[in-house]
Structure formats: C-alpha cells, structure tokens
A and B are shown apart, each in its own frame.
Chain A
Amino acid sequence: MNMMSEAAVEKALDKKMNDMTYKMIGNDVSVYYGEKRALFDVNLNVRENTVTALIGPSGCGKSTFLRTLNRMNDTIEGCRVTGKITLDGDDIYDKEIDVVELRARVGMVFQKPNPFPKSIYENIAYGPRIHGLARNKADLDQIVEASLQRAGLWTEVKDRLHEGGTGLSGGQQQRLCIARAVAVSPEVILMDEPCSALDPIATAKVEELIHELRANYTIVIVTHSMQQAARVSQRTAMFHLGQLVEENDTDKMFTNPDDQRTQDYIMGRFG
C-alpha cells in the first residue's frame, strides 16, 4: 500500500463516519448495581468505522457503559440495565437476542491481558471453533494466521504457535487478546483500558493497531490517558458521575469543548 491510497482510505472512512451511520445507539441507558445507580440516562451513539474514546475520572461509569454494549454486565450479580441499546437497529436487550451471538458480534478486549493458559494457536482458534466459523483444519489455520496478522503479531509468533500464550510479553499478550477478539469476525470491538498494564512501547504498538483496525471494525475504547484518546480516536465522549457530559469530535473536544467540565478535566483540574 502506498501513502496516497492510505490517505484515501482514511478520507473515505472519515466521510463514512460523518454520514452519521450509527453502529450502536444508546438511548436513555441507566445501570443500577443493586440499589446504587451507576449510569444516568446516557444517550450515546457509536458511529461505524470509528474509534470512540470514553474518558472521565475513575468511577464515572465509562467502563459500565462499555460493558452494557455487549451485555457483560449480565454476569454481575444484581446489575440492572434500563433504556435501549441497539446494534444495527436491533435491541440487544431484547428477549429474542441471544447474548452468545451478540458477544460474537461485539467482541471485547480487557484491561489486563487475559490469554487462556493454552497455546497461541488455541487461544485464537477457540472463538472460531465454538462459533463454527471453520469447516476444517485448513480454514482454521487460515483464520489464525489472518487474525494474528491483523493484530500485527504474526511475524513475532509464527514459529511458536504451539507454545503457551502466557509466555508472551505483556504487550504481545494484549495483541494476542485483540487477535483472539478479531478471530470471530466481530463488527464492534470494545476495549476496556487496553494499555493500562503495558509499557509505552507496547502501548504505541497497540495504539497503532487500533488505528489500523478502524478500517474493518467499529471500536469503542475506554482510556484514562487523554493523550491516548487524542491519538487514537475520532470521537470522544466524556463521562462524569455517571452522566454523559459531552460527546464530540476528538479534535474539537481537546481544543474547544462545549462543556466547562470537559475543559477542566482535560486541563487536569479534577479527576
């Protein structure tokens, strides 16, 4: 690929983003943990082929919102979600929707790299296998290779596919987890502070990867680092005390935000 076409791709993606094709729409989303309310009527739309960064001080509800998008909150005892979230127009909290299928379409990468204590190959192959994405061994091999290549890990691990995934470095493990999420061909990838356990070099690699993944996936990323949000995202949403303060283009957000609280947070006055 040469520089021209890459820029052209970028431009096409930005155009698609500005066409306001919403991949996921959150409408009056509230989350309760038992009696405690963690999110207050959040209206946030996620645009297709866009990296949306969720920022805000600790405990502001950004991770909670992220986890409502693939119903990972279901696994928490006493957690209740109200409001409506749609994926391509379908309500994901509808009784008809199978949560297993939803999670195959909305993948997730966690804060701490959590590869299975199995081989690199098995880590990637697990998802396609349970979803029946590969008809035979050759198919599976191909998915594994493609996923690792997409996560920029192929050249580093191709000679040790059958060694343990937990033997990789932290950054490699996190890219392995991204490859694992990619392997089931999701439409949306949720990332919950994916770089918080990584050193700056590994972080840079993951950020670069996120940037590349934008071409094929819609990405929502929770981050504590302003710089990271500014570097990787096109849209940024700011949360505070369980409420959505502001959602805007990242450039605008970091130069001239509409809300004073955003301004204060970005300037480091609180949080």
Chain B
Amino acid sequence: MTDVVSSPAGVIDKPARRDIGIKRRYRAERRFRAYGIAALSFGLLFLALLLWSVVSKGYTAFQQTMITVPVEFSEQIIDKDNERATDPQKLMTANYPIVARNAVAKALGVAENDTAGLRAVNQMISNGVRGQLRDMVLANPQIIGTTQTVSLLAAGDIDSAFKGQIDLSVTEQNRKISDRQVGWMNQLVEAGALGKHFNTGIFVNGNSSRPEAAGVGVALIGSFYMMLIVLVLSLPIGVAASIYLEEFAPKNRLTDLIEVNINNLAAVPSIVYGLLGLAVFINFMELPRSASLVGGLVLTLMTLPTIIIATRAALKAVPPSIRAAALGLGASKMQTIFHHVLPLAMPGILTGTIIGLAHALGETAPLLLIGMVAFVANYPTTPMDPSTALPVQIYMWANEAERAFVERTSGAIIILLLFLIVMNVGAILLRRRFERRW
C-alpha cells in the first residue's frame, strides 16, 4: 500500500474556481464569425457588381436592329447585261448595297436625285447587307426581278441610337448620326419597319471592323480547337506523369526536384509560356502563326502542372487500404492502379482537368505572343488555319472606339462566362456522378 500524499495546504481539495472567461470566449467566436460573414459579403458584393456591370452593358448585344423593307432585286442593278449564265462572278460581285439603299430610300420616300439624302440613307444600313443579299440571290437566282421583304442589318450607329446608347440631345455636329437620319429612324419605327431582332450574327460571324457584323464565330471555333488540343494532350500526359510519380517512381532527390519544379511551373506567369511557345513552336518548329494548334500546345504546357498537381492529390487521397486489398489478392501494381486506384481518383482528376481547361479557356496573354491577336474574318477549317480565341476577341473589341463595340465586348464576356459556368457545372456533375456510386 502506498501512502496517499496529502496536498500542501489542501489547494486541490477545495473546489477550484475556474476563470476561463466563458463570455470572452463566446465573444471572440462571435467576432470571428462576423469577420467571416463580412469577408463573404464583400466577395459576393463584388461578384454581383461584376455580373451586373457586364450583363447590363452586354445583354443588348444579343439583339440587333434590323430594317425590314420590301427589296426589289432589280435586274437593272444586279445583272444589267444578263451575263449571269455565262459569268458566275457576275452574281458574286454585283452592287447589292445599292439594291438595299434603294429599298430603304423608297420606304422613306427619298427622291432618286437627292444624292446627299441617298448617301445618308446608305449610312443607315450596314455594309453587311452585301453578303446578306448576295447569299439570297446565289441561293435562289429566280428572285432577280422580283420584290421580297427582307430584314436588312442596320448600321452600328443606328443600332446604338435605337437602343438609346447614343445621346441624341447633343448638337448634330457632336454625334455620328444626323438629325435627318434620326427623323428617318423614327419614321421607320412608326411604320413598324425598324425593330430589334435576335442577333444570331454575334455567335456565327467572324470578326469585322463594323460592330453590327462582328461576331465571335471564329473565336469560338479557335477556342474549341484549342480546348480539344489541350484536353487530348494534357489529360493523358498529365495523368500518366502523375501515376508514374505517385505510384512507381522511387522517392529520391531527383523526384523531389521534379515535384518542386512542377509546383513552380504552376505558378509561372502565363505570358512566359507564350514566349516559350513563340520560341519553340513558331521560331524553331516553324508552325504557322495565329494557328489554334500552337495556341493549344502553349495552353497544354500551361495546364499540365495544374492537372498533374490535381491528379497527384486525387491519387494520394485514395485510401491505402484499397491498394493493400488489391495487392493482397494478388493483383499486380498495374492492375491495382487501373482497376481500383484510378477509378476512385477519377472525380478529383476530372475536376482538376476541367478547372485547368476553364483556366486555359480564359487565358489571353500567351495567345497574344503567338499571334492569335490577328483580325480573322474567315472560319478556320483546321487547327493550322489562322484563328483567334474568345478572350483575345474580347481584348480586341475592348480596344475598338465605336460605341456599338462596348456592348459587343460585354456580350462576348457573357458568352465566355457562360462557357465557364457550363464547364464548372460539368465538373460538379461529373464529381457527383462518380462519387455517388454507393
């Protein structure tokens, strides 16, 4: 039996008076929560501000002002000497803007000898009508000599004025649209000939110096090619590299060095990748400039570290007991990885990949360096053709002076944001789908 040592002066025998400051602790906790909510609200406020500013400026870009008038496809103007059977170029090069101008002038009652008036009318319709009417005639040459009701593209300034984006109260000299044109515009509105239509052009047209005819079609195709290249290259390379590093490679100085460098690469400014792409792919390998192939390769280099890091984290997160179970059953290392570890890591890998892709989709700086900032009006048919990308298109439009480009810039931003939202939602859905197996 050991003796119980009695405590000196009976200090611990008395019930202790605890002074732990319960109230102070609760206050500290409440304060901390308040900080958190404040930080969150701050972030949300700016997000709301961003979305509001972009959407309020940009939603009008999805509507386009059109002038709907009966157009007389006059044989006199289109094919005076009736050569269209022998000369196929005839219908391609006919003076369609005059056809359109005459149609609008007739609707407005402008005399045929009022040269200044006709010129002013001409300024109200977009140059894009040339292609519009030409395509109609080429598709169906029978309409020559008849009168058809056509919705003609209005000029950018009329579009802006009709949408209320141009201040009409200033003096005539200080705006790009004359009083007479404003009068005509109102006359057409009253006749029901001038109105807003859904703007399919912004999705399908190539770039144009005229805002009313400019669209992100080329940029969409370019971005699509690049995303395809990034996905096809960076996913297999990234996943293979991660699996090797995580599961097979010996842990030594060299692999440590590689790991540190991959982490560093993820933090390298993207413009440096642009310079690398310029030096390697364009100057050394002599791939074409402005091609989405080069853009895709550069973005692949940029995305690889992100995917490798995400994949390694996902592989690490697979419980070791699963590996032990498979190995204990006599599965080889390859079988263990491909049958058990990889499927379990898939949600993490896919999320990392989609976030990497979304990052690449929004990347601008490296593309500027490899010449993707070019003015491209024609659709690229292969990734080797000159092309541009969505964020670069936004950058280019933001540099334009015309008022109508402001809304188009915001419109393109909305399109880009929509794609990013779709990709992120896709990441979440894929994650859910793979995680909710049991």
Chain A residues engaging chain B, CB cutoff 8 angstroms? 70, 72, 75, 77, 100-104, 107-108, 110, 112, 114-117, 126-127, 130-131, 164, 166-167, 177, 180-181, 184
Apart from the given pairs A75-B327, A117-B437, 11 other A-B contacts in the complex at a CB distance below 8 Å: A70-B328, A101-B330, A103-B330, A107-B328, A107-B330, A108-B324, A114-B325, A117-B438, A126-B339, A130-B331, A181-B328
Interface size class of B (residues with CB under 8 A): 20 to 34
Chain B residues engaging chain A, CB cutoff 8 angstroms? 251, 319, 321-332, 335, 339-340, 344, 437-438
A110 touches B321 (CB 8 A): yes
Determine the chain B residues whose CB is within 8 A of the CB of A130 once the complex forms.
329-331, 335, 339
Determine the chain A residues whose CB is within 8 A of the CB of B335 once the complex forms.
130
Q: Are A100 and B438 also in contact (CB < 8 A) when A110-B325, A114-B324 are?
A: no
- A239–B212 CA distance with the chains assembled, in angstroms: 86
Closest residue on chain A to residue B335 by CB atoms = A130
Determine the chain B residues whose CB is within 8 A of the CB of A100 once the complex forms.
330-332
* Min CB gap A125→B, angstroms: 11
- A166–B326 CA distance with the chains assembled, in angstroms: 15
* Min CB gap B332→A, angstroms: 5
A127 touches B438 (CB 8 A): no
B322 touches A114 (CB 8 A): yes
* Min CB gap B260→A, angstroms: 19
Interface of B is mostly: helix
Query: Which one of B251, B324, B331 lies within 8 Å of A110 (CB-CB)?
Result: B324
Closest residue on chain A to residue B332 by CB atoms = A100
Question: Can you give 25 A-B contacts (C-beta < 8 A)?
Answer: A72-B328, A100-B331, A100-B332, A101-B330, A102-B330, A103-B327, A103-B328, A103-B329, A103-B330, A107-B329, A107-B330, A108-B328, A110-B325, A115-B325, A126-B331, A126-B339, A127-B329, A130-B331, A130-B339, A164-B437, A167-B438, A180-B325, A180-B329, A181-B329, A184-B330
Query: Which one of B251, B321, B329, B332 lies within 8 Å of A112 (CB-CB)?
Result: B321
Closest residue on chain A to residue B323 by CB atoms = A75
* Min CB gap B191→A, angstroms: 69
- A117–B325 CA distance with the chains assembled, in angstroms: 11
A110 touches B328 (CB 8 A): yes
Q: Are A72 and B325 also in contact (CB < 8 A) when A77-B251, A166-B438 are?
A: no
A184 touches B329 (CB 8 A): yes
Query: Which one of A77, A102, A177 lies within 8 Å of B325 (CB-CB)?
Result: A177
Determine the chain A residues whose CB is within 8 A of the CB of B251 once the complex forms.
77
Closest residue on chain A to residue B325 by CB atoms = A114
Residue in A100, A115, A167 whose Cβ sees the most chain B Cβ within 10 Å: A100
B340 touches A116 (CB 8 A): yes
- A258–B299 CA distance with the chains assembled, in angstroms: 72
- A227–B344 CA distance with the chains assembled, in angstroms: 38
Determine the chain A residues whose CB is within 8 A of the CB of B327 once the complex forms.
72, 75, 103
Determine the chain A residues whose CB is within 8 A of the CB of B328 once the complex forms.
70, 72, 103, 107-108, 110, 181
* Min CB gap A170→B, angstroms: 14
Closest residue on chain B to residue A131 by CB atoms = B330
- A107–B327 CA distance with the chains assembled, in angstroms: 10
Determine the chain A residues whose CB is within 8 A of the CB of B339 once the complex forms.
126, 130
A164 touches B330 (CB 8 A): no
Closest residue on chain B to residue A71 by CB atoms = B327
* Min CB gap A246→B, angstroms: 28
* Min CB gap B256→A, angstroms: 13
Determine the chain A residues whose CB is within 8 A of the CB of B324 once the complex forms.
72, 75, 108, 110, 114
* Min CB gap A77→B, angstroms: 6
B330 touches A127 (CB 8 A): yes
- A130–B327 CA distance with the chains assembled, in angstroms: 12
- A112–B319 CA distance with the chains assembled, in angstroms: 12
Closest residue on chain A to residue B344 by CB atoms = A117
Residue in A130, A177, A184 whose Cβ sees the most chain B Cβ within 10 Å: A130
Determine the chain A residues whose CB is within 8 A of the CB of B325 once the complex forms.
110, 114-116, 177, 180
Nearest 9 CB-CB pairs, A to B? A164-B438, A104-B330, A108-B328, A114-B321, A103-B330, A127-B329, A114-B325, A100-B330, A100-B332
- A107–B331 CA distance with the chains assembled, in angstroms: 11
* Min CB gap B336→A, angstroms: 10
* Min CB gap B432→A, angstroms: 15
Determine the chain A residues whose CB is within 8 A of the CB of B332 once the complex forms.
100
A116 touches B322 (CB 8 A): yes
* Min CB gap A180→B, angstroms: 7
Determine the chain B residues whose CB is within 8 A of the CB of A112 once the complex forms.
321
- A110–B326 CA distance with the chains assembled, in angstroms: 11
Determine the chain A residues whose CB is within 8 A of the CB of B319 once the complex forms.
114
* Min CB gap B178→A, angstroms: 73
* Min CB gap B310→A, angstroms: 20
- A24–B322 CA distance with the chains assembled, in angstroms: 27
- A102–B327 CA distance with the chains assembled, in angstroms: 11
- A127–B438 CA distance with the chains assembled, in angstroms: 21
- A181–B328 CA distance with the chains assembled, in angstroms: 8
- A114–B339 CA distance with the chains assembled, in angstroms: 15
Determine the chain B residues whose CB is within 8 A of the CB of A117 once the complex forms.
322, 344, 437-438
- A170–B118 CA distance with the chains assembled, in angstroms: 88
- A177–B330 CA distance with the chains assembled, in angstroms: 14
* Min CB gap B345→A, angstroms: 12
- A130–B326 CA distance with the chains assembled, in angstroms: 10
Determine the chain A residues whose CB is within 8 A of the CB of B438 once the complex forms.
117, 164, 166-167
Determine the chain B residues whose CB is within 8 A of the CB of A180 once the complex forms.
325, 329
- A131–B330 CA distance with the chains assembled, in angstroms: 8
Determine the chain A residues whose CB is within 8 A of the CB of B326 once the complex forms.
116, 126
Residue in B330, B331, B340, B437 whose Cβ sees the most chain A Cβ within 10 Å: B330
- A167–B251 CA distance with the chains assembled, in angstroms: 36
Determine the chain B residues whose CB is within 8 A of the CB of A70 once the complex forms.
328
Determine the chain B residues whose CB is within 8 A of the CB of A167 once the complex forms.
438
* Min CB gap A239→B, angstroms: 21
Determine the chain B residues whose CB is within 8 A of the CB of A114 once the complex forms.
319, 321-322, 324-325
A126 touches B321 (CB 8 A): no
- A114–B336 CA distance with the chains assembled, in angstroms: 14
Determine the chain B residues whose CB is within 8 A of the CB of A110 once the complex forms.
321, 324-325, 328
- A72–B330 CA distance with the chains assembled, in angstroms: 10
* Min CB gap B250→A, angstroms: 8
- A54–B323 CA distance with the chains assembled, in angstroms: 24
* Min CB gap A147→B, angstroms: 12
Determine the chain B residues whose CB is within 8 A of the CB of A108 once the complex forms.
324, 328
- A117–B437 CA distance with the chains assembled, in angstroms: 8
